Amino acid sequence: MSFVIIPREKATPLLNFMILISSLCAGLLAVGIVFLLKGVNPFFAIHEIFRASFGSFFGFKETLTKAVPLILIGSGLALAYKAKFWNIGAESQLLVGAIFGTWIGLNWGPSLPGFIILPLMFAGGFIGGGLWGLLPAIFKIKFGINEVISTLMLNYIAAEFVKFLVVGPWKGKTKYGYPYTDDLPAQAVLQHMGNSRVSLVLIILAVCVALFLAFLVFRTRFGYEIRVIGENPEAARYAGINFFRTTLIMMFIGGGVAGLAGVGELSSIHLHLSYPETISAGYGFTAIIVAWLGRLHPGFTIFSGLFFAGIIVGGDAIQMSMGMPATTVNVFNGLILIFLIMGDFFINHKVRYQRRVS
């Protein structure tokens, strides 16, 4: 008697969905074991996490706030991953977007009304993140440098540059020696709903971007070309697709939406540029899992982004209420990613129970 693993030739959408759900459950189970080892009742802990993030009005507002950058970045990453361009530098694209947004907000903000300065800041952030995203694309195509390495390294450069700015030339005159820039003028700040930190504008922006990118990938010529490049570069060459231009546009958009996330965080939450760890709580990395959980469909990242935002919020909550260490959320994310990737195995293979004769 034994289990045998055989390749699966067909995977229906329903099966895909079931596998997705099962991997999530398996991931939660593994997380549960971690809780058990810490002497915490896992059902209670996981219940707490979701109660804190989705079960209470206060928590849900926090979840929405954190979902915005995850959706923005995650949908841009899904775009890049469709072209098999392994961008893991969204963190720095977000930061550069925030730098551009800060400069525009601080320099032009005081003299312009809100409905002009805010769009300008977002446009600037998009361009900033986009340009930063172009670098690894150029490196890859012109010099053959692996994009995983270059995007990773660019993360450090951008982070150090932000630190340099906030302790050096851009250090705020009103900030009493703290490593912050001055606050943005009032008209460059996004309004919140009620007494939350949720900005309706940002939520609409994130959802629109994700839907737009989904449309881009599956309905436009550009999206078609991206998918051909990702699936078979040789065929792309044969089909006369301009590799260089398409990849550049793709990374400009992918980096740009991460830049939007940077400006969003800046103008809605922080109101000034400060240390990179403060500006982005690792959104650029968490969004990798968001893109993956969304099956590289930019539209689906709306849901996966919300889910992971919930985990971040819930993780914070149990950290406080149960005294779990601050890294609990990372363990959570890591385990879920591992199980998602393992789930892919079951999309391509099936396990059968077979009695061995002879």
Binding interface with other proteins (CB under 8 A): 4-7, 9-10, 12, 219-225, 227-228, 231-232, 234-235, 237-242, 352, 354, 356-358
- Label residue 100 exposed, middle or buried (CB < 10 Å: 0-12, 13-18, 19+): buried
Please enumerate in sequence order all residues whose Cβ is within 8 A of that of 108, keeping only pairs 6 or more positions apart, or say none: 117, 120
Nearer to other proteins, 231 or 277 (CB): 231
Nearer to other proteins, 200 or 349 (CB): 349
Nearer to other proteins, 39 or 234 (CB): 234
Nearer to other proteins, 25 or 219 (CB): 219
CB of 126 to other proteins, least distance (A): 19
CB of 339 to other proteins, least distance (A): 24
3-state DSSP call for residue 332?
helix
Nearer to other proteins, 142 or 356 (CB): 356
The maximal CA–CA distance of the chain, rounded, in angstroms, is 86
CB of 349 to other proteins, least distance (A): 10
Structure tokens at 282: 């690792």
Nearer to other proteins, 29 or 219 (CB): 219
Question: Minimal CA–CA distance to 244: which of 151, 152, 143?
Answer: 143
CB of 172 to other proteins, least distance (A): 44
Structure tokens at 97: 């977007």
Question: Bridge-partner residues for 3, per DSSP?
Answer: 353
CB of 235 to other proteins, least distance (A): 5
Nearer to other proteins, 18 or 193 (CB): 18
CB of 239 to other proteins, least distance (A): 4
CB of 220 to other proteins, least distance (A): 6
User: Long-range contacts for 155-158 (Cβ within 8 Å, ≥24 apart)?
Assistant: 155/88, 155/89, 155/91, 155/92, 155/284, 156/92, 157/92, 158/91, 158/92, 158/93, 158/95, 158/96, 158/132, 158/276
CB of 288 to other proteins, least distance (A): 21
Q: What is the dihedral of CA 90, 94, 100, 102, to 10 degrees?
A: -170
Nearer to other proteins, 61 or 227 (CB): 227
Contact 70, 309 (CB under 8 A): yes
Nearer to other proteins, 96 or 216 (CB): 216
Q: Could you tell me if residue 144 is left (phi over 0), alpha (psi between -120 and 50 degrees) or otherwise beta? A: left
CB of 106 to other proteins, least distance (A): 36
Contact 256, 110 (CB under 8 A): no
- Label residue 357 exposed, middle or buried (CB < 10 Å: 0-12, 13-18, 19+): exposed
Q: What type of residue is 1?
A: M
β-strand 349-354 against 2-7: which pairing, if any? antiparallel
